């Protein structure tokens, strides 16, 4: 079984709809991350969490919110989706600070906002 799983894998929605992307991990890591990937751009950090009571904004958090329901679960929400949020979204975990520790990525969710 995969260490980091994401649901759904693909989602098409309309402008203004609320969307939730879910991530679960069996790595036992405290640190979890949400990224988006756009063609021609590098991965960009949206939010990260060190534990259920510690949520931090990343580089591009506007328009997004997150919830850390348990050590193993980290959800990303788009309160009112807009077309420029169409992207590939990845969840990741790490055993320590990502500036010098490897990350383990999920398979991604492809989100299309019409």
Partner 1 sequence: EDQVTQSPEALRLQEGESSSLNCSYTVSGLRGLFWYRQDPGKGPEFLFTLYSAGEEKEKERLKATLTKKESFLHITAPKPEDSATYLCAVGAQGGSEKLVFGKGTKLTVNP
- Bridge partners (DSSP) of residue 34 are 47, 91
Residues that bind partner 1 (CB under 8 A): 4, 33, 40-45, 48, 56, 58, 90, 92, 97-108
CB of 35 closer than 8 Å to CB of 23: no
42 or 62, CB closer to partner 1?
A: 42
85 or 109, CB closer to partner 1?
A: 109
Query: What is the nearest approach in angstroms of partner 1 to the Cβ of residue 16?
Result: 28
Query: What is the nearest approach in angstroms of partner 1 to the Cβ of residue 18?
Result: 25
Could you count the other beta carbons within 10 Å of the beta carbon of residue 90?
Answer: 22
Distance of CA 9 to the CA centre of its chain: 12
DSSP string, 36-78: EE-TTS--EEEEEEEETTEEEE-TT-TT-EEEEEETTEEEEEE
Query: What is the nearest approach in angstroms of partner 1 to the Cβ of residue 15?
Result: 25
Query: What is the nearest approach in angstroms of partner 1 to the Cβ of residue 80?
Result: 27
81 or 106, CB closer to partner 1?
A: 106
26 or 80, CB closer to partner 1?
A: 26
Residue with tokens 């807009």: 82
């Amino acid at each position: 079984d995969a260490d980091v799983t994401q649901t759904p894998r693909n989602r098409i929605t309309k402008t203004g709809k609320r969307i939730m992307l879910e991530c679960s991990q069996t790595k036992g890591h405290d640190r979890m991350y949400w990224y988006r990937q756009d063609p021609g751009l590098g991965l960009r950090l949206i939010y990260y969490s060190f534990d259920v009571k510690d949520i931090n904004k990343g580089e591009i958090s506007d328009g997004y919110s997150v919830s850390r329901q348990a050590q193993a679960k980290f959800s990303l929400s788009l309160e009112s989706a807009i077309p420029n949020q169409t992207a590939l979204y990845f969840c990741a975990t790490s055993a320590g600070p990502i500036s010098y520790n490897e990350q383990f990525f999920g398979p991604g969710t492809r989100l299309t906002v019409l």
